[in-house]
C-alpha cells in the first residue's frame, strides 16, 4: 500500500521497530540457551544467570536495586499488577484510589474495575487545558484512606509530561509527617522511557511500569519497579517466579532483549532528543501553517520530542488515517472508529474538547529513523487529503475550538 | 440475518482487520474503490433548490453524520442522489454505494428505495467488518428521512412512514429504537446499554424486557 515507494512510519508511540542489536541478542540467546531459569541444573542456571544479569542492568537503568524489578508480559500487565496488586493488598487500610483523566486504559479501566466490582472509591483528577495535571489537585485528592495513586509520566496520545516527581516528593513529605501512611505512587512510564530520566529516586515513585515495545525492544515484555517494602498481592498463582508475585516461566529471551534496548536508550537519549525536537517542531509548524482549522493538542513545550497530536476540524480521523495509509504514511487517530469501545479519545475530551474534535485528532509519533524528508513528505501529502475529506463533510466545527 | 459477516469477513470476526485471508487491507476492494473514489458526493456548498427530498441522520458527536439530497421525478423515481458525510471509511463507502444503487438503471421507485436494507448495501460492498455495520445502517435511514421529506413537500403526508418506536422505559424516556441504536454503537450488554441510555436505572422492573431486546438486536446485527 505504499505510494511511490514511500513508507513513513509515524506511529512510534504504538510500537517502535526492534533495534538490530536487540534482535541479535534475542536470537543468540534463543539459540544458545534452552533451559528453564527455574531448573536446578547447569542448563537452567545458564538461563537464570542471563535473567539475573538483565535484571541488574534494568535496575541500574532505573536507579533501583535488582530485587526491586519484576518482569511481566507487557506494560498493561505491569500497570494492572501495580494497581490491583497494591490496592487489594492494602484494602484493609483504605479503599480510596486516585488517578488522572488522561491515563492509558491499562490504568483507567483497572481503576474503574476496582470501583465498580470491588467497592473502591475512585477519584479521577481532571487535567488542565494544556493536557497536564495540576500536582496540587492530585495531592488535594489524597485522604487518610487513600492507597494507590497513579499518574502517568508522559501521556501516550498527546505526549505531555506530567509532574510525577513533584507529586512523589510531596507524598513522601506527607508520609514523613505521619499522614497518608498507606499511599503509594505508581507511574506508567511507557512513553517516557526513551526520552526522560527514569531514576526512581528522583521521581519519588513506589511503583513504575515500563515495557519493551516503546524502546525499540521486543514486544510482549514489561517490567515493574516495586520499591522495597511495597507489598503487592499477586494476580496469578502457581509458581515461585518473580518472588511469587508474577509466577510463570520467564520469557528470558525477551527480557535479555529488553535490557539491551534500555542500554541503547541510555546511551542515545540526548542524541535522539536533539534529532527529534526540530523534526517535531517542523511537523507541527508545517501542519498548523498549511492547513486551516487545526489545533495542537497538549502543551507545546512540556511534551516529549517525538509527539505531534493535532485535531483537524470537520473530518473524521479514521478516514484520514486510511487516506494517509494509501500514501504510505502510518499514523494514529483518537477517532472512535478505530477504538474497540467506539468511544472517541478520552484524552482529547479531557482537554475540554467536544466529541467531534476528538474524532478528528491525529497522532504522529516520530522515531530514531525519522528523517526530514519524511516530514516534508507528510507536509506535502496531508493538505490535499484533508481538503478532499472536508469537501464531502457536512460538519463545520465551532471556531472557538481551533481559533 | 447477519450472515454477511460470516460470508464476507474472514479473519478475526468483529474486528477491523483484513477483509480476507490473502490481503491485509482493512476493507474489501469494493469498499476501497468507493472510499478512495466516492461517487455522487457534493463538493462544497449545496444548492438545495435543485432537490426535493432532503434527509439527515446522525451527528458529528457520535462520529457519523450523513446528509442526502434526492431529486425525485414526476414518476416518483429517484433520478439524482447527492450526499455529504462526516464519518469513517465504511461510512463514506457505504453512502457512495447506496447512491449508486438508488440511481442506477433509471433510478429506484420510492418504495424500492425505502426498502433498502443495510444488508443490501453490505452485499454490494462485498462485506464490512462486523463492528463497522452501524455506519451503513445510517445510510438507509437517511434515505427514508429524505423520502419522508419529499412526501411532506408534496402534501402526501399520509404516505410518510414514521419509524415506529415503542416506549420501553417511560421514566428515562427510552424507546426500543434507542436500545437498537445503543447495541449498534457497540453496547452489547445491559451495563453498556445503561451507560448509553440510562434505561431501567431506578426502574428495575423493566430490566428483563430490556435484556430481551438487547439479545434480539445483538443477534440481529452481530450474529
Residue A58, domain CATH:
3.40.640.10
Pick A393's closest partner by Cβ from B26, B84, B89. B84
CA distances from A241 to A39, A227, B15 (A): 11, 18, 35
B71 beta partners: B80
Q: Is the pTM of this model over 0.80?
A: yes
Q: Which residues of A are catalytic?
A: 337
The answer on A27 and A95 residing in a single domain is: yes
Res B127: pLDDT:
84
Burial of A215 (0-12, 13-18, 19+ CB in 10 A): buried
Query: Are residues A392 and B85, on separate chains, in Cβ contact within 8 Å?
Result: yes
A2 within domain boundaries:
no
Domain boundaries, chain B: 4-159, 167-222
**Per-residue pLDDT at A341:** 56
- Give per-residue pLDDT as tens, B62-93: 678 899 999 999 999 999 999 999 888 888 99
Q: Is there a single domain that holds both residue A205 and residue A339? A: no
CB contact under 8 Å between A391 and B43, yes or no, is: yes
Quick check: helix, strand or coil at residue B171? coil
- CB atoms under 10 Å from CB of A131, counted, come to 26
- Tell me, what CATH number does A392's domain have? 3.90.1150.10
- Count of domains forming chain A: 2
Q: For residue range B156-172, what is the model confidence (pLDDT) as tens digits?
A: 988 888 776 778 887 77
Residues of chain A with C-beta less than 8 angstroms from the C-beta of B89: 318-319, 322, 337
Pick the residue of B61, B67, B86 with the most A CBs within 10 A to test the interface with A by mutation.
Answer: B86
Chain B residues with CB under 8 Å of A356 CB are: 60-61, 86
Whether A336 and chain B come into contact, CB under 8 Å, resolves to yes
Nearest to B132 by CA among B217, B19, B210, B212: B19
Do A229 and A166 sit in the same domain of this protein? Answer: yes
- Show which of A239, A264, A289 is a domain's final residue: A264
Whether residues A118 and A96 share a domain: the answer is yes
| Domain match, A237 and A115 both | yes
Cell of A146: 487513600
Q: Are B63 and A323 within 8 A, CB to CB?
A: no
Closest Cβ–Cβ partner in B35, B60, B89 for A395: B60
Residue A3 lies in a domain: no
Is residue A210 within 8 Å of A189, Cβ to Cβ?
yes
Q: Are residues A205 and A352 in the same domain?
A: no
Give me the count of residues in chain A: 403
Other Cβ atoms less than 10 A from the Cβ of A261: the count is 28
CA distance A134 to A101: 12
* pLDDT score recorded for residue A245: 97
Query: Helix, strand, coil proportions of chain A in percent (round to 5)?
Result: 45, 15, 40
Residue with cell 522515531: A367
Residue B5 clears pLDDT 70, i.e. is over it: no
**Does residue B139 have an active-site annotation?**
no
Q: So what CATH class is B167-222?
A: mainly alpha
How much is the average pLDDT of B139-158? 91
Q: For chains A and B, count residue pairs whose Cβ atoms are closer than 8 Å.
A: 73
Which of B32, B48, B88, B96 should one mutate to test binding to chain A, selecting the residue with the greatest count of A CBs within 10 A? B88
Q: Are A72 and A164 contained in the same domain?
A: yes
Check CB contact under 8 Å for A392 and B64. Answer: no
B100-124: average pLDDT:
92
pLDDT at residue B11 is higher than 50 = no
Same domain, residue pair A76 and A212: yes
Distance from CA of A350 to the nearest CA of B (A): 15
Domain boundary among the residues A264, A280, A300 is at A264
- As a whole number of angstroms, the distance between CA B32 and CA B54 comes to 27
- Output the CATH code of domain B4-159: 3.90.1010.10
**Packed helices A372-391 and A252-290: angle between N→C axes, nearest 10 degrees:** 60
Which residue in the set B25, B26, B61 is minimally distant from A356, CB to CB? B61
Report CB contact under 8 Å: A393, B61. Answer: no
Q: Please list, in sequence order, all residues whose beta carbon lies within 8 angstroms of the beta carbon of residue A277, skipping any fewer than 6 positions away.
A: A305
Q: Does B38 touch chain A (CB under 8 A)?
A: yes
Would you state the pLDDT for residue A339? 59
User: Which of A326, A335, A394 lies nearest to residue B84, judging by beta carbons?
Assistant: A394
Distance to chain B for A396, nearest Cα, Å: 9
- Put simply, the answer to whether B67 touches A394 (Cβ < 8 Å) is yes
pLDDT for A275 equals 98
The pLDDT value given to residue A229: 96
The answer, for A323 touching chain B at a CB cutoff of 8 Å, is: yes
Cβ–Cβ contact B188 with A under 8 A: no
Among B95, B62, B222, B6, CA closest to A337 = B62
Which of A323, A336, A394 is closest, CB to CB, to B86? A394
Q: Tell me what ipTM this predicted complex has.
A: 0.81
Three-state DSSP class for A144?
A: coil
pLDDT, residue B139, reads 86
Contacts of B38 in chain A (CB under 8 A): 392
B41 in contact with A at a CB cutoff of 8 Å?
yes
The three-state secondary structure class of A363 is: strand
The pLDDT assigned to B62 comes to 66
Q: Write down the pLDDT at residue B164.
A: 67
> Is the same domain home to A116 and A138?
yes
Same domain, A254 and A313: no
Residue B186 with chain A: CB contacts under 8 Å: 341-342
pLDDT at residue B24 in the model: 57
Cell numbers 430481551: residue: B212
Q: How far is B82 from chain A (nearest CA, A)?
A: 10
Q: What are phi and psi of A205, to 5 degrees?
A: -105, 155
Q: What is the DSSP letter of B77?
A: B
A338/B contact by beta carbon, under 8 A? yes
Domain ends where: A212, A229, A264? A264
Query: Which residue is associated with the grid cell 516520530?
Result: A366
Average pLDDT, chain B: 81
CB atoms within 10 A of CB A301: 7
| A336: nearest CA partner in chain B | B63
Contacting residues of A for B64, CB less than 8 Å apart:
316
Which string of b and e fits A223-243 if b means at least 16 CB within 10 Å?
bbbbbeebebebeeeeeebbe
Locate the chain A residue with the closest alpha carbon to B196: A343
Chain B CB within 8 Å of residue A362 CB: no
What CA–CA distances, in Å, run from A214 to A211, A363, A366, B101? Answer: 7, 15, 12, 46
pLDDT in tens for each of the 403 residues of chain A? 444 578 999 999 999 999 999 999 999 999 999 999 999 999 999 999 999 999 999 999 999 999 999 999 999 999 999 999 999 999 999 999 999 999 999 999 999 999 999 999 999 999 999 999 999 999 999 999 999 999 999 999 999 999 999 999 999 999 999 998 999 999 999 999 999 999 999 999 999 999 999 999 999 999 999 999 999 999 999 999 999 999 999 999 999 999 999 999 999 999 999 999 999 999 999 999 999 999 999 999 999 999 999 999 999 998 999 999 999 999 999 886 665 555 789 999 999 998 889 999 999 999 999 999 999 999 999 999 999 999 999 988 989 888 8
User: Which of B54, B135, B193, B213 is the catalytic position?
Assistant: B135
Which pLDDT does position B8 carry in this prediction? Answer: 35
Q: Are residues A221 and A366 in the same domain?
A: no
Residues A69 and A140 in one domain: yes
Q: Is residue A1 part of a domain?
A: no
Pick from A326, A338, A392: which is nearest to B92 by CB?
A392
Q: How many CB atoms within 10 Å of residue A144?
A: 12
Q: B91: which chain A residues are within 8 Å (Cβ-Cβ)?
A: 316, 319
Residue numbers of the domain that contains A332: 8-17+269-401
B23-39 confidence digits (pLDDT tens): 456 788 889 899 999 99
3-state helix, strand, coil in chain B (%, to 5): 50, 15, 35
> B174 has which bridge partners?
B169
Look at residue B87 in the predicted model and tell me its pLDDT: 86
CA dist A324 and A140 (Å) reads 44
* pLDDT band per the 50, 70, 90 thresholds, residue B213: confident
Kindly report the nearest CA distance between residue B25 and chain A, in angstroms.
8
Residues of B in contact with A359 (CB under 8 A): 60, 63
Residues of B in contact with A338 (CB under 8 A): 16, 88
Kind and range of the H or E element at B140? helix B133-153
A319 to B131: CB separation less than 8 angstroms, yes or no: no
Residue B210, helix vs strand vs coil: helix
Cell of B195: 451507560
pLDDT band at B17 (very low <50, low <70, confident <90, very high): very low
Amino acid at each position: 500500500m505504499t505510494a511511490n515507494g514511500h513508507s513513513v512510519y509515524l506511529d512510534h508511540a504504538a510500537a517502535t521497530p526492534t533495534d538490530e542489536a536487540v534482535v541479535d541478542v534475542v536470537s543468540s540467546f534463543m539459540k544458545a540457551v534452552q533451559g528453564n531459569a527455574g531448573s536446578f541444573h547447569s542448563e537452567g542456571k545458564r538461563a537464570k544467570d542471563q535473567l539475573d544479569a538483565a535484571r541488574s542492568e534494568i535496575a541500574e537503568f532505573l536507579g533501583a536495586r535488582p530485587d526491586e524489578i519484576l518482569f511481566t508480559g507487557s506494560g498493561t500487565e505491569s500497570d494492572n499488577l501495580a494497581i490491583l496488586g497494591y490496592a487489594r493488598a492494602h484494602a484493609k487500610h483504605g479503599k480510596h484510589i486516585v488517578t488522572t483523566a488522561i491515563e492509558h486504559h491499562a490504568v483507567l479501566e483497572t481503576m474503574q474495575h476496582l470501583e465498580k466490582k470491588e467497592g473502591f472509591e475512585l477519584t479521577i483528577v481532571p487535567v488542565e487545558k494544556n493536557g497536564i495535571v495540576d500536582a496540587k489537585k492530585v495531592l488535594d485528592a489524597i485522604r487518610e484512606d487513600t492507597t494507590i495513586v497513579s499518574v502517568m509520566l508522559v501521556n501516550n496520545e498527546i505526549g505531555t509530561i506530567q509532574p510525577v516527581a513533584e507529586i512523589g516528593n510531596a507524598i513522601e513529605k506527607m508520609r514523613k509527617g505521619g499522614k497518608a501512611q498507606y499511599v503509594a505512587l505508581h507511574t506508567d512510564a511507557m512513553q517516557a522511557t526513551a526520552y526522560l530520566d527514569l531514576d526512581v529516586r528522583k521521581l519519588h515513585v513506589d511503583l513504575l511500569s515500563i515495557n519493551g515495545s516503546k524502546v525499540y525492544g521486543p514486544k510482549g515484555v514489561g517490567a515493574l519497579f516495586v520499591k522495597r517494602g511495597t507489598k503487592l498481592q499477586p494476580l496469578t498463582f502457581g509458581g515461585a517466579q518473580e518472588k511469587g508475585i508474577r509466577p510463570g516461566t520467564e520469557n528470558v529471551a525477551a527480557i535479555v532483549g529488553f535490557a539491551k534496548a534500555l542500554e541503547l536508550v541510555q546511551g542515545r537519549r540526548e542524541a535522539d532528543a536533539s534529532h527529534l525536537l526540530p523534526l517535531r517542531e517542523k511537523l507541527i509548524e508545517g501542519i498548523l501553517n498549511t492547513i486551516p482549522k487545526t489545533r495542537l493538542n497538549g502543551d507545546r513545550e512540556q511534551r516529549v520530542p517525538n509527539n505531534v497530536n493535532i485535531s483537524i476540524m470537520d473530518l473524521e480521523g479514521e478516514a484520514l488515517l486510511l487516506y494517509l495509509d494509501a500514501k504510505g504514511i502510518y499514523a494514529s487517530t483518537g477517532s472512535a472508529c478505530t477504538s474497540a469501545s467506539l468511544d472517541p479519545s478520552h484524552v482529547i475530551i479531557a482537554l475540554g474538547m467536544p466529541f467531534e474534535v476528538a474524532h478528528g485528532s491525529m497522532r504522529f509519533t516520530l522515531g530514531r529513523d525519522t528523517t526530514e524528508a519524511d516530514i516534508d513528505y507528510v507536509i506535502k501529502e496531508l493538505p490535499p487529503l484533508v481538503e478532499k475529506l472536508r469537501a464531502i463533510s457536512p460538519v463545520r466545527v465551532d471556531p472557538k475550538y481551533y481559533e | 440475518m447477519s450472515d454477511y459477516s460470516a460470508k464476507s469477513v474472514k479473519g478475526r470476526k468483529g474486528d477491523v482487520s483484513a477483509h480476507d485471508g490473502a490481503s491485509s487491507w482493512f476493507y474489501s476492494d469494493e469498499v476501497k474503490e468507493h472510499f478512495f473514489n466516492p461517487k455522487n458526493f457534493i463538493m462544497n456548498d449545496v444548492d438545495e433548490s435543485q432537490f426535493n427530498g432532503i434527509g439527515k441522520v446522525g451527528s458529528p458527536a457520535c462520529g457519523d453524520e450523513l446528509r442526502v439530497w434526492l431529486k425525485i421525478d414526476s414518476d416518483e423515481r429517484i433520478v439524482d442522489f447527492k450526499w455529504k458525510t462526516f464519518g469513517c471509511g465504511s461510512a463514506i463507502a457505504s453512502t457512495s454505494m447506496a447512491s449508486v444503487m438508488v440511481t442506477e438503471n433509471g433510478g429506484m421507485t420510492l418504495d424500492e428505495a425505502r426498502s433498502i436494507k443495510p444488508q443490501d448495501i453490505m452485499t454490494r460492498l462485498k462485506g464490512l467488518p462486523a463492528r463497522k455495520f452501524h455506519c451503513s445502517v445510517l445510510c438507509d435511514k437517511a434515505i427514508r428521512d429524505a423520502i419522508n421529506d419529499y412526501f411532506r413537500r408534496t402534501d402526501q403526508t399520509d404516505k410518510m412512514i414514521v419509524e415506529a418506536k415503542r416506549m420501553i422505559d417511560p421514566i428515562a424516556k427510552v424507546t426500543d429504537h434507542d436500545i437498537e441504536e445503543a447495541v449498534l454503537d457497540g453496547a452489547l450488554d445491559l451495563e453498556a446499554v445503561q451507560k448509553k441510555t440510562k434505561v431501567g436505572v431506578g426502574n428495575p422492573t423493566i430490566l428483563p424486557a430490556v435484556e430481551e431486546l438487547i439479545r434480539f438486536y445483538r443477534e440481529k446485527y452481530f450474529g
